[in-house]
Structure 1
Amino acid sequence: MLHSHAARCSTPCAPSGWRPNETRSGPQSVGGSNVLHFSCRRRWHEASSSSSSKLHIASEICSRRSSRRSAGANASAEVERSGPEDVEVRKPEPPPFKCLTSWTSQYNNIVILEGAEDSPSHYAGCRILLLDSSGNVHSVYRRATAWTKSYWDEFAAFPAVIPDGPVAILGLGGGTAARLLLELWPSLKLEGYEIDQILVDNAREHLGLAELESPTGDGGVLRVHVGDALADTASVDGGFAGIIVDLFAEGEVLPQLRDPETWLALKSRLRPGGRIMVNCGGACVEKSDSKSDVENGTWTWEDGAASKDATLAAMALSFPGQLNWRKMENSEADNVLALTGDVPDLDAWAAAVAEELRAGILAWKPYK
């Protein structure tokens, strides 16, 4: 069916490229050992492979720090040779990011950063949520726009190919996908599932999640549920019209999503005509080998294609002849989305959604 359309620190921080040298239970405060410090990785990669978009920008901060260190060392040497009155030492550039809050919960290392308005980064002027030891970007919040230019936007095309009814988001994070969904489909009823209460509380305070919990003028709203998104209790009477699955840990899809039984259970929670749209991840998974690796900035890369392919294969067994897929545009990590059900009329689907989503819709094809 097609439808028409807490605490703050000033430490320079960067997503997916800086790691806390120590974690604390609770927000970090300014000053002394309570300031959240980050160590820089030695290897960088531009990708878009999980609920974290993996758009790495820490390298620019590393280079800035390196330049400042070099400039400071050269200036100090010049002072020794010529005297301080002959040398103008430039003030260090302001950090492109600041840490708004950092927590260690039962489930996650949670860090929320805010980009400086004048930063040349893709994240200038917005807030980003980093989770787990991989430090991947799991949510993006821009006050001025709900568009992210990343995979979250693609979920906003989903309501055009499902029946009327509530839509579940399994893996709500900071609410990035829900924000654009409610902007483009203001009568939509969303049921968001997130396992981490501390994450939800921080998203309400720093990422605008609380705004989505107030009904729109057309009656659309996000209801937040704290708990296991794959539990039997993550359901509604009559079934969901659609289920969005965006469940990741340590940079890759949850292991349960590689089991056909998981998809059969989710299938049973759909109403007639309902579909599931899934972020299956990509070809690159970023991991640390040990605590010492985190501290010295050494990171390894693993092939994420195996978990991505296993997820698609499990879905194909549970939805025989009823699975479609597409590769994200401009994704070096081979990021893939999946959609259950018959292949929609792509032209009609594209005509029913915002212009920004049309090109991606035409890339959907049956999974074989």
Structure 2
Amino acid sequence: MEKKKKIHGELGTCQGDRFGPIDGKLFEFLHRKLPVICEGVRKAPYLEGHLPPLSSSSSSSTDFSATHDYWAWVGENQIAMTLLSSYQIQSLAPSPLQCLSFSHQPNNPKPCLPLKTMPKPIHFSLLIAKSHQHHHSNPQTKSQDDGIPIDDVKTIVRFKSRYNYIRVLEVSRKADHPFAGSRLLLLDAPGNIHSISFRSKLLTQTYFDVFATLPPILPPGPIGILGFGAGSAAKVVIRGWELDPSVISVGREYFGVSKLEKEYQDRLFIYIGDALKASTRDGFSGILVDLFSKGSVIPELQDPNTWVMLRKCLRKGGRVMVNVGGSCVEAEDSGRDGKVVMEETLKAMSDVFGGKVLVLSLGNRDEDSSLALTGPMPDLDSWKKMLPRSLMGYIDMWIPFTS
């Protein structure tokens, strides 16, 4: 068996915890091949500290460094999420790590965090509360809805800002759960998780990892990120706009944004503003859209006019990748069904992009959580060759959208 090359580095959370070994090729892909620029930090990247020097002997077939600048706009109730390369992003609304909701019911003596997931990429749905009536003696027999005892979850901070009910939680590293050792950002009343960061690994096993696969199929140029989060997609991205100054403060205090700003003074830029008004000279080569408000994809994304505007922001050959939500996203307004909102968003996109929209479903059911990509189907084999092995599995999951 081929021994994987590892690179050790001082990558940590704001407490300065040490990250474990990181696959060399993945590290190079995320930190060199994709220019790192953070623009618009909602809560901002969780990666901070000293980035280890890249070994000259590590190689990768990916070579599009310096071809993409990344911009990120944080939406109106959103928290910045990403770390890209350069430009500006404006604000809209927050996007929950789909299927990640966090609610508490005091009558339950042992609330827990159930998990919705699927075999290959994993998509989560956190619900702290619905304690289970039974316990499993064998951890391997746990169902997807098993969760973490509340004792393994610590609230770091919680408060209300003008736009959000902000909570930062930390899951114990000893917890028997995929979120063990993570830090979570919750914003809206239903408790949807808008960002997740781990102390011991780069990838999150959520849709943020899919976002990282976009650059290889884009023409050279800036990439805009609309809707930041707390830095979950942010190791590859960033310039962003955030409407809520409190979210930026949380990012700096609890997700390592302050350190990143010092480390990458010429590449990390934070703005306050409206994401849908972002623009750049000659257009974006790509746009990542992750805009949620009150636990739902923002209404503007069901309006074809919004997509007409975003299409005009693209340069020739440019694409848009969108978190379109799904049934697993719990909205504050019970009348906004996640599946219906997802379908309406996809329909609006398809109408504007001439039916050239692809869909990737995450979760146990097709309607659980989905991402959309504009443009014709790329050459999948060529696309995979441009990615680290850990990200290749997502590529074959894209299928044409049919209304």
TM-score, length of structure 1 as denominator length: 0.69
- Would you say 1:349 and 2:397 are equivalent positions? no
CA distance in 2, matches of 1:250, 1:129: 14
- Would you say 1:105 and 2:161 are equivalent positions? yes
CA distance in 2, matches of 1:174, 1:129: 7
Question: Residue in 1 aligned with 2:252?
Answer: 204
Question: Residue in 1 aligned with 2:202?
Answer: 146
Question: Residue in 2 aligned with 1:221?
Answer: 267
Instruction: Sort the Cα spacing of 1:331 and 1:138 in 2 relative to 1 into closer, same or farther, 3 A.
Output: farther
| Larger RCO (alpha carbons 8 Å, 6+ apart) | 2
CA distance in 2, matches of 1:303, 1:99: 29
Question: Structure 1 residue 215: deviation in Å?
Answer: 6.0
Question: Structure 1 residue 161: deviation in Å?
Answer: 0.7
CA distance in 1, matches of 2:372, 2:350: 10
SS at match of 1:267: helix
CA distance in 1, matches of 2:283, 2:332: 40
- Would you say 1:16 and 2:101 are equivalent positions? yes
CA distance in 2, matches of 1:129, 1:169: 18
**Which residue among 249, 254, 258 is the counterpart of 2:302?**
258
Q: What is the Cα-based RMSD across aligned positions, in Å? A: 3.3
8 Å contact kept, 1:284–1:302: no
Q: How does 1:277-288 map to 2 (within 5 A)?
A: 277-287=321-331
**Which residue among 174, 186, 199 is the counterpart of 1:130?**
186
CA distance in 2, matches of 1:332, 1:156: 22
SS at match of 2:275: coil
- Would you say 1:360 and 2:394 are equivalent positions? yes
Unaligned runs of 5+ in 2: 1-60, 65-99, 118-122, 136-148
Instruction: Sort the Cα spacing of 1:315 and 1:118 in 2 relative to 1 into closer, same or farther, 3 A.
Output: same
Amino acid aligned to 2:392: R
Instruction: Sort the Cα spacing of 1:222 and 1:324 in 2 relative to 1 into closer, same or farther, 3 A.
Output: farther
Amino acid aligned to 1:316: S
CA distance in 2, matches of 1:278, 1:284: 16
CA distance in 2, matches of 1:302, 1:237: 36
SS at match of 1:106: coil
8 Å contact kept, 2:113–2:150: no
**Which residue among 373, 376, 379 is the counterpart of 1:339?**
373
Question: Structure 1 residue 136: deviation in Å?
Answer: 0.5
Amino acid aligned to 2:246: I
8 Å contact kept, 1:170–1:246: yes
8 Å contact kept, 1:178–1:222: no
**Which residue among 114, 117, 129 is the counterpart of 2:173?**
117
Question: Structure 1 residue 44: deviation in Å?
Answer: 8.3
TM-score, length of structure 2 as denominator length: 0.64
CA distance in 2, matches of 1:220, 1:240: 20
Question: Structure 1 residue 365: deviation in Å?
Answer: 2.2
CA distance in 1, matches of 2:386, 2:320: 19
Q: Deviations over 1:10-56 (max 9, x none)?
A: xxxxx834349xxxxxxxxxxxxxxxxx77699987447xxxx6522
- Would you say 1:56 and 2:126 are equivalent positions? yes
Question: Structure 1 residue 288: deviation in Å?
Answer: 5.4
CA distance in 2, matches of 1:140, 1:284: 17
Question: Structure 1 residue 330: deviation in Å?
Answer: 4.2
Instruction: Sort the Cα spacing of 1:214 and 1:55 in 2 relative to 1 into closer, same or farther, 3 A.
Output: farther
8 Å contact kept, 2:124–2:206: no
CA distance in 2, matches of 1:195, 1:358: 34
CA distance in 2, matches of 1:198, 1:359: 37
Instruction: Sort the Cα spacing of 1:329 and 1:98 in 2 relative to 1 into closer, same or farther, 3 A.
Output: closer
CA distance in 1, matches of 2:214, 2:113: 33
8 Å contact kept, 2:124–2:363: no
Q: Deviations over 1:42-101 (max 9, x none)?
A: 9987447xxxx65225258x469x99xxxxxxxxxxxxxxxxxxxxxxxxx992111111
- Would you say 1:272 and 2:316 are equivalent positions? yes
CA distance in 1, matches of 2:398, 2:332: 34
SS at match of 1:95: helix
Amino acid aligned to 2:241: Y
Amino acid aligned to 1:149: Q
The alignment of Structure 1 onto Structure 2 pairs a total of residues equal to 289
